[in-house]
Structures are given as structure tokens and as C-alpha cells.
Amino acid sequence: MTKAFFIIDVQNDFCEGGSLACAGGAQAAANITAYLSSDEAKAKYDFVIASRDWHDAHNDNGGHFAHDGVAPDFVNSWPVHCVADSEGGNYHANLDDNLIDFHIQKGQGKPAYSIFEGNTPDGETLPDLLGRLGVTEIDVAGIATDYCVLASALDANTAGFKVSVLPELCAGVAAESSAAAVAKLEAAGVTIR
């Protein structure tokens, strides 16, 4: 069996001080680095794959960014965040990006929550990459538990992978919605570790 670890959107704009910050984001970044640096994790995972929101700078990204003076509804529209090649779009400094084998960019002109909606910088889709690597199992961590971690883990489960989520390596938008996300994942058959 070939096992991958997904790091979902551990970016400056989703951590404290960012435009769409989650409390605990910086700590989640540090916890992921510590975990992946352990002998246990090095023995467990064949590949580490990280996603980033990578939105266009000069448009509303298909309505994903609130614009024209309209306030974001925080359901379908959001403050400007994680613009490609911006400081907000960079990985948080607490995340050691030397641990990452493959980078997935998502958004790029349209709303995107799941890592499965992205591709590598050279255009390879995530399903094609996972197939090429022979991945069968995936552990998921990152930001935010109740949005992009949820969407990514559900898509991995639907695609037939054996999926686990590690909540202690995640940060969410809110405690209540994060707990609901974990319950939804469990109900779908995702393992919570």
C-alpha cells in the first residue's frame, strides 16, 4: 500500500493575522511540521502533497471574492485571500515546505475547496498524480477543518481511497462547524484519528 499525507491550505491568509484567519492556524502549521519530521511519520508516508488556494489577483474568481463594495457572506463569498504569488498565499512559516513532495494549486479564477479541484504547477490533476504514484491511503490535515479539509477528505473518500483525518493537526473556522464536519466525515466512513 502506498500512503500519502495531505496538507490542506496551511497559508498565511488562513492563519492568525491573515485576511481569513482561523484561530490555531499557526499552531496547526507547527504541529504538522513536528509530526512529519518524526520517525513515525517518515516511515508511514510515501508522499506528502500540499494544497494552496491560488486565486487570481484581478477578478472575483467566479464570485468567490466579495467585490464592488458588497460585504462577503462567508458562505459563498469571502474577503480577498490567498492570491497567487502573494504573501497571503504563501505557506505559513511554521510549515516546513521542504517536507512537501508535490504542490497543488486550486482556485485560479473559480471557487475551489477540495484539493481534488486543483493541479500541480505543470498542470497535472490530482487524480492523475495519485494514480501515477499508486496511492491507496490518505491522511488529511490542515485548514480549515470545516471547509477545505472537509471537502478534500470527502472527495478522497468518494474516490475510493482509505481516508483518515487528524483533527489535532487541523484548525477550523469555528468549534461548532468543525465538530459538525468531523461528524459528517465519520458518517461518510472516514476514520478520525
Catalytically annotated residues = 9, 106, 148
48, 101 Cβ separation under 8 angstroms = yes
Q: How far apart are CA 24 and CA 127, in angstroms?
A: 30
**Cα separation of 26 and 29, whole Å?**
5
Tell me the residue type at 186: E
Work out the angle between the directed axes of helices 150-158 and 175-188 (0-180°, nearest 10): 10
Residue found under cell 471557487: 111
CA distances from 168 to 27, 35, 69 (A): 10, 10, 37
CA distances from 145 to 12, 25, 57, 95 (A): 16, 11, 25, 17
